[in-house]
Amino acid sequence: MNKINEFPEIMYRDHEFLESLEGRTLRILSEYLGPMSKLDRMKINSTILFLGSAKADPANRGSLLTRYYWEAEELAYRLAKWAIPLKPKGKNFVICTGAGPGIMEAANRGAARAGAKTIGMNISLPQPQSPNTYITPDLAFAFHYFFMRKFWLVYKAKAVLAFPGGFGTLDEFFEILTLIQTSKISKKELALVLYGEDYWREVLKLDVLVSNKAIAPEDLNLFTFCNSPDAAFALLKKKLKAML
């Protein structure tokens, strides 16, 4: 009979098990409980989520997306500056993004310019997405599972702004829209904004869904279009004040 020469690895430190198929439940649970613990510790009551293209380059003046980069930065700055004094037992309407470049960087950048805490929720990808440098270090998260990342992007959000973007932005926008349509999220508890009406009307032919009775006409009232930082800030300030 062979004798064990050393004490075996404690199970919660057994990386081979934790990274196995059988350990998946614990990995998912970690991506649920870990962010919950940190957000509670940092006293984050609510967030404003910015969605949009990772390809928006502030230096590329020839791109339409560059305009939206700077408008996202300005809007995030105004919202963060307005929200800083709103601290009944914690931080309200903290700017949150998916942590990447482009529109995400712009929103974190604007919040940082206002002197506010700002959240970034990154995702592991085959081609790694480096977190932008404007995220508050204690509020930087990294996820393996897309569905857990999307859960935390939305869970504390009181407003979601979808700036022009691609497949990822569309995926996130339509999932949130579906949750509102099916009353899994109350419209009174979350303001959904499509920023850049010309862009989105060209991309989304939603009237076709209405004309074919795939959705009800009133479903188009589940979100609002905005075209400038001034208009979006005025709209959100009014809606968010009612949620305090």
Beta bridge partners of 195: 226
pLDDT attached to residue 232: 98
Q: Which of 30-34, 46-50, 61-65, 207-211 has the lowest mean pLDDT?
A: 61-65
Instruction: Judge whether residue 127 has pLDDT over 90.
Output: no
Model pLDDT, residue 90: 85
- pLDDT-above-70 percentage for the chain: 98
Please state, in angstroms and rounded to a whole number, the distance separating the CA atoms of residues 231 and 205.
23
Q: Confidence band (pLDDT; 50, 70, 90) for 1?
A: low
Q: What is the 3-state secondary structure (H, E, C) of the chain?
A: CCCCCCCCCCHHHCHHHHCCHHHHHHHHHHHHHHHHHHHHHCCECCEEEEECCCCCCCCCCCCHHHHHHHHHHHHHHHHHHHHCCCCCCCECCEEEECCCCCHHHHHHHHHHHCCCCEEEEEECCCCCCCCCCCCCHHHEEEECCHHHHHHHHHHCEEEEEECCCCHHHHHHHHHHHHHHHCCCCCHHHCEEEEECHHHHHHHCCHHHHHHCCCCCHHHHHCCEEECCHHHHHHHHHHHHHCCC
pLDDT of residue 3 exceeding 90: no
Q: Classify 43 in phi/psi space as left (phi over 0), alpha (psi -120 to 50) or beta.
A: left
Q: What is the pLDDT of residue 136?
A: 97
Instruction: Tell me the pLDDT of the chain averaged across its residues.
Output: 94
pLDDT higher at 75 or 128: 75
The full set of domains in the chain, from first to last, is 44-241 (3.40.50.450)
Window from 9-23, 64-78, 81-95, 208-222 with minimum mean pLDDT: 9-23
Answer yes or no: is pLDDT of 5 > 70.
Answer: no
- Model confidence at 236: pLDDT above 90: yes
Quick one: pLDDT at residue 138? Answer: 96
